[in-house]
Structure 1
């Protein structure tokens, strides 16, 4: 069964449900848990003219700090439930690469590098314009993942 479980978190209610599911699976199976967050700076980097109104580097640093805090809280939740977990903030130093990669690509690459048996992620169930505008990481994961995948639906 699953020995290495990777869960992606983004501080949404759906991602919190995915974390809960991953913790439950890890505890039941005696599996190792890795919690990841993608520092998705692409919207900041791709917004033309944004650097004229704000310090893009400062915004990116704030995003990294928030991602790190999110990972620390998720790891504490796992530890409190009796599951040891490590964390990884997925990002790139290459700003051109960063602007052209989807969040799901980062997650799949992280899962492959860590040799995960399964990826657990939340699905927001967006439809229509919201799905077109925001995108759907879960749908991309279904297309890209090379491992098993557990999708946890939002309420």
Structure 2
């Protein structure tokens, strides 16, 4: 099977460079175009904003301060993602691979499938963190969602297993 348009979905996990290099090698070998994609989740944005109570009785100045903190963090996060994407883009260009970058804000699984469909990708490459059991139920599984919802082929690269799983493997 020959691939001409490969979307690689990258996050902030330690396995992201491994996922990227699998996609880059495939794009180089297949002479395919590469779309480097990142999705920032609301959880990532809200991590840096302190909780200010339950929301009951918050005055306008506190509400405005929370909004401004979120906006500042979102701006910093956007700049951080742009810098990360720039580094990956540079690596692809050095290999002579035609490359684009795109980032979105929201649910990663849905965005990966939507962007792949609208760009007409024929392969999605993404990582898997290895969550099992309750962790997968509570944290969700982007790779599982994409495997079942994508309109094209999907290559899942196994990431680092959680420590407790690594101990069982040895």
TM-score interval, smaller chain: 0.7 to 0.9
Separation in structure 2 between the aligned mates of residue 118 and residue 61 of structure 1, nearest angstrom: 31
Structure 1 counterpart of 2:72:
58
In the TM superposition, residue 79 of structure 1 has moved relative to its aligned partner by 2.0
Distance 1:113 1:50, change over 3 A: farther
Aligned to 1:95: none
Q: Which residue is equivalent to 1:34?
A: 35
The DSSP-based 3-state class of the residue aligned with 2:121 is coil
2:146 is the alignment partner of 1:141: yes
Aligned to 2:8: 7
Change (3 A) 1:80 1:43: closer
* Structure 2 residue aligned with 1:119: 124
**For residues 90-123 of structure 1, what are the alpha-carbon distances to aligned partners after superposition, in whole Å with 9 as ceiling and x for unaligned?**
23xxxxxx4xxx3110111111111111100011
Instruction: Give the structure 2 partner of residue 82 of structure 1.
Output: 96
Name which of structure 1's ranges 57-66 and 104-113 shifts more when overlaid on structure 2: 57-66
- For these two proteins, the number of residue pairs brought into alignment is 146
Pairwise CA RMSD: 2.5
Seen in structure 2, the aligned counterparts of structure 1 residues 64 and 41 have a Cα distance that, compared at 3 Å, is: farther
Counterpart Cα distance in 2 of 1:42 and 1:13: 18
> Counterparts of 1:116 and 1:30 in 2: how far apart (Å)?
14
TM-score for both structures, normalised by structure 1: 0.82
d(CA) in 2 for partners of 1:75, 1:106:
20
1:23 aligns with 2:24: yes
For residues 6 and 43 of structure 1, what CA distance do their matches in structure 2 show?
A: 22
**Which residue is equivalent to 2:84?**
70
Q: Which residue of 2 is the match for residue 153 of structure 1?
A: 158
CA distance in 2, matches of 1:140, 1:62: 28
Runs of 4+ in structure 1 over 6 Å off: none
- Structure 1: segments with no counterpart, 5+ residues: 92-97
Q: Does the CA contact (< 8 Å) of 2:34 and 2:97 recur in 1? A: yes
Gaps of 5+ in 2: 53-61, 161-170
Deviations 1:9-32 (A, max 9, x none): 113232221111110111111000
